Amino acid sequence: MNSLRVLLAERDRATRELLHAFLLRAGHAVFVAASAREAIEAFRREGPDVVLLEAAMPDTGGTDAVRAMRDLSGSRWVPLIVLAAHTDEDEVGHGARTGADWTLTKPCSFAVLQARLDSVHSIVALRHELEHKNRALEAFEERARQEIRIARQTLRSFNRIEAAHAGILQHWIVPAIEFSGDTISAAHSPDGSFWLMLADNIGHGLSAALNAIPLTRAFRAVAAKGLNPASMVRELNRTARAQQPHERFVAATIARISGRDGIIEVWNGGNPEALLIDAEGAVADVFDSRHLPLGILSDDELDTHFKSTPLVPGLQLAVVSDGLLETGRARAFGQAGLYAALSAVPPGKRFGSVVSRLQEIISGLPNSDDVSFALVDCDAARALHAIETANAPRGAGLGRNAGGEPWRLSASFCEAQIRRLDLVPFIKVLIDQIDPPRMESQALFLVLSELITNAIDHGLLGMDSRLKQGADGYDAYLQERARRLEDLSGAELHIELERNAAPGEPLRIRISDSGGGFDHTRILREAPAGAEYPHGRGIALVRKVVRSLAYCDGGKTVEVCCERI
């Protein structure tokens, strides 16, 4: 039944009672008023669905009543039907002009009135539905806003660059939509290397940003373990493959800056070229995309080769995703724009120069892609290594056996394992579980790293550190090393670690290789004690942090005593 709540305002009693009876018979709820004032009061009190109002009313007058009711109902529309005397054209026109929705002339046929009320009913029904849907929509929007707020907080906190890296890395990300599918992450490894990853996850928005999380975690974990660059790429590629269907790949630029090795090395799969700029603003090197993006190839197919360049003073590394270069669309920022913004100003102002130039272009334009830019101060990154080694504890008198129980770890590796395993982190993880350090100390990693690397590189493979010198030296060294490692057979590397139970007992490390031995006295004599640690002379570094270091067996065995804090 099309029942409505009707407010009937009619001065003439006969008309009023006639209409009242008709409306009741038709099944409507009726509220009656005999004057404009009563009508307004009833309107306020009852909130009717429709008003039937006599045009000319005493008191405030019919037209004022219309206005008053409009005010009362506010944004909610209540149909107002004015009943005008047909003889009075003024009344008829007036009703329409002052805000009534329809005018019916008196005497009106009940059929006409009924038809009008029927159409009012469908309108009212529609209006109710609309209001209901609007309320539901508002509630949904509010919930969505809340969730977005929380998501943004969570992601921001997760992606935050830690304070230790703030002096090394400046970065800027502008998402296309609320959340960016581009991520910039920084980390450092126990040997003092600084790591950077700029990853461009396919797509935009929240789903892209969420997809980036496992990759960021893998990046941080691998760096913390001190795994080598090839392992980093392999692990990231596996993570990208595992979690997404492979048509959702990740373009990534991965950079490692090592003060210890004296190099900057970069792996770029699918991003625009990274630029290395010197203090004068000239391009020192360029790292273009040489690999497929992460997440596409299998382990065997993956190329983990990094391009390396010497780490000399005054360098900055600029890394970007393609959104940045394509900003501005028609007059795109481009490689040229990036280079111009970087080289035009001194090093300290370069970041600001690029950002403000981009902001000029972006303002007023909706972003079609995520834009991101990172600038690494290579001098500051290099200093990470110096800080680590300067803080390394030395000498006697410190160190207590934390666990209390004596322990001994002995392991032998043949060439197949040496090829396959990243031995230094492997051993370090074992030690950390047997005899956990009381506080953060990279000294042990440093010592293990130097001794094991020496045993493999010099002892078993017979590599000459001098090969590392020169522009492509590091690369050439790695390639020759890989070749010799491939050919190696019948080799053995023996690693022994132990700590006795008495308090103050140091950690003893003994490493033997089955190689030809070397003249260790010469190495120890030549090693400088200065702050510069060019590659190949790590033994000097080790000597600074351990209690004692001795070679025997013609150089094939080295024994070290060091504190375990």
Cβ closest to other proteins, residue 71 vs residue 247: 247
Answer whether 409's CB lies under 8 Å from 497's CB. Answer: yes
Residue 293 as a binder of other proteins (CB under 8 A): the answer is yes
Stretch that binds other proteins, among 235-243, 246-254, 376-384, 494-502 (CB under 8 A): 246-254
Quick check: helix, strand or coil at residue 478? helix
* Cβ proximity to other proteins, 247 vs 487, nearer residue: 247
The single residue among 86, 246, 483, 522 that binds other proteins, judged by CB under 8 A, is 246
List strand residue ranges (DSSP E) for 229-358, in order: 250-258, 263-269, 274-277, 283-287, 307-310, 316-320
Q: How many CA atoms lie within 13 A of 421 on its CB side?
A: 18
Phi and psi at 176, nearest 5°, equal: -70, -45
Q: Which is nearer to other proteins, 39 or 251 (CB)?
A: 251
Of the candidate spans 132-140, 163-171, 284-292, 430-438, the one that interacts with other proteins by CB under 8 A turns out to be: 284-292
Among 251, 252, 254, 392, binds other proteins (CB under 8 A): 251
- Kindly indicate which of the ranges 115-123, 170-178, 240-248, 279-287 contains the residues binding other proteins, using the contact rule CB under 8 A: 240-248
Q: How far is the CB of 249 from other proteins (least distance, A)?
A: 7
Residues between 42 and 71 with contacts to other proteins, criterion CB under 8 A: none
Count of beta carbons in the 10 Å neighbourhood of residue 176: 19
What is the closest distance, in whole angstroms, from the C-beta atom of residue 197 to other proteins in the complex?
A: 18
Note whether 290 binds other proteins by CB under 8 A. yes
- 238 or 537: whose CB is closer to other proteins? 238
Applying CB under 8 A, which of residues 170, 289, 308, 454 lies at the interface with other proteins? Answer: 289
- Look at the alpha carbons of 59, 65, 71, 74 in this order and tell me if their dihedral is positive or negative: positive
Residues in 312-351 at the binding interface with other proteins, rule: CB under 8 A: 322
β-bridge mates for residue 254, sequence order: 197, 267
Min separation Cβ 201 and other proteins, Å: 10
Residues 254-273 binding other proteins (CB under 8 A) are 269-272
Count of Cβ atoms closer than 10 Å to residue 523 Cβ: 18
Residue 546 three-state SS: coil
Q: Please work out, in degrees rounded to the nearest 5, the angle formed at the alpha carbon of residue 167 by the alpha carbons of 161 and 173.
A: 45
Question: Binders of other proteins: how many residues, by CB under 8 A?
Answer: 19
48 preceded by cis ω (within 30°)? no
Q: Which is nearer to other proteins, 156 or 329 (CB)?
A: 329
Binds other proteins by CB under 8 A, chosen from 16, 116, 165, 291: 291
Distance of CA 431 to CAs 6, 224, 399, 435, 564, Å? 86, 15, 16, 6, 11
Separation of alpha carbons 46 and 69, rounded Å:
12
Dist. CA 2–CA 125, nearest whole Å: 10
Q: Which of 266, 296, 427, 444 binds other proteins (CB under 8 A)?
A: 296
Spatial CB neighbours of 213, under 8 Å, sequence gap ≥ 6 = 158
- Rounded to a whole number of angstroms, the minimum distance from the CB of residue 292 to other proteins is 5
Which is it for strands 29-33 and 250-258: parallel, antiparallel or unpaired?
unpaired
Site string for other proteins, 166-205 (x = CB under 8 A): ------------------------------------xx--
Taking the complex as a whole, how short is the minimal distance between the CB of residue 307 and other proteins, in angstroms?
A: 14
Q: Single out the residue of 5, 11, 234, 248 in contact with other proteins (rule: CB under 8 A).
A: 248
Residue numbers at the binding site for other proteins (CB under 8 A): 202-203, 246-249, 251, 269-272, 288-293, 296, 322
